[in-house]
């Protein structure tokens, strides 16, 4: 069976950068892998992603946001994640269920229990085998991110709540969620991530 690895963290924490390096590492070692992301990841998801990230002209309530991410996730799981895992691939997914808890729950104040329920429906209880949480100070993330989408334009206190929300999730699920510092040099961070992944790959 495959392996589902999700990457979480605030904007600019280095998810895209590190996923690219993990892909190189896996492909170099001959592991079949698939890189995907949320929102997005399937044709429907690309449409929803455009609404969630790109449209300044729309008002989207926090609860509507939860369901848009949920709709995106249901399609992504069915169309991309489950088939790839069934084929035995190592799937690297840029944001997943924890992002909705962190952003819409801790960031926007939607009830976390409700979000967890929507997540369970959307995923059919598909859980990441491992989640890499890239943690970095909000100032650093914001300075690195270009600040172009709806979430990246949110202010410091919003991102601070999101960061703390992510850390709370990691505290609650230490077996699944591994916190890796997103500060410092890219290669060093990558080595920390590989240390987390190697035992899982060996067991696969």
Ligand X SMILES: Nc1ncnc2c1ncn2[C@@H]1O[C@H](COP(=O)(O)OP(=O)(O)O)[C@@H](O)[C@H]1O
Residues in contact with ligand X by the rule CB under 6 A:
9, 11-17, 144-145, 185-186, 189
Beta carbon of residue 76, minimum distance to ligand X (angstroms, whole number) = 18
Query: Judged by CB, which is closer to ligand X: 12, or 105?
Result: 12
Query: Judged by CB, which is closer to ligand X: 74, or 91?
Result: 91
CB 140 within 8 Å of CB 159: no
Query: Judged by CB, which is closer to Mg ion: 15, or 76?
Result: 15
Residue 189, contacted partner among ligand X, Mg ion, none, CB below 5-8 A by kind: ligand X
- d(CA 51, CA 91) in angstroms, rounded, equals 25
Contact letters for Mg ion, residues 10-39 (x by CB under 5 A): -----xx-----------------------
Q: Which residues share a beta bridge with 66? A: none
Residue in 195, 154, 178 with CA at minimum distance from that of residue 9: 178
Q: In a 3-state reduction of DSSP, which class is residue 19?
A: helix
CB 44 within 8 Å of CB 50: no
Contact letters for Mg ion, residues 166-185 (x by CB under 5 A): --------------------
- d(CA 192, CA 198) in angstroms, rounded, equals 10
């Amino acid at each position: 069976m495959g392996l589902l690895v999700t990457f979480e963290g605030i904007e600019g924490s280095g998810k895209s950068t590190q996923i690219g390096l993990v892909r190189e590492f896996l492909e170099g070692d001959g592991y079949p892998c698939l890189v995907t992301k949320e929102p997005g990841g399937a044709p429907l998801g690309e449409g929803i992603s455009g609404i969630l990230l790109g449209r300044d002209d729309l008002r989207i309530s926090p609860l509507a946001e939860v369901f848009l991410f949920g709709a995106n996730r249901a399609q992504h799981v069915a169309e991309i994640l489950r088939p790839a895992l069934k084929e035995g691939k190592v799937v690297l997914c840029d944001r997943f269920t924890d992002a909705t808890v962190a952003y819409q729950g801790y960031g926007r104040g939607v009830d976390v229990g409700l979000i967890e329920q929507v997540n369970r429906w959307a995923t059919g209880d598909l859980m990441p085998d491992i989640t890499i949480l890239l943690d970095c100070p909000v100032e650093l993330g914001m300075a690195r991110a270009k600040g172009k989408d709806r979430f990246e334009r949110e202010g410091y206190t919003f991102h601070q709540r999101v960061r703390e929300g992510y850390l709370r999730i990691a505290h609650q699920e230490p077996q699944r969620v591994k916190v890796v510092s997103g500060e410092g040099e890219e290669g060093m961070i990558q080595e920390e991530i590989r240390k987390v992944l190697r035992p899982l790959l060996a067991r696969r």
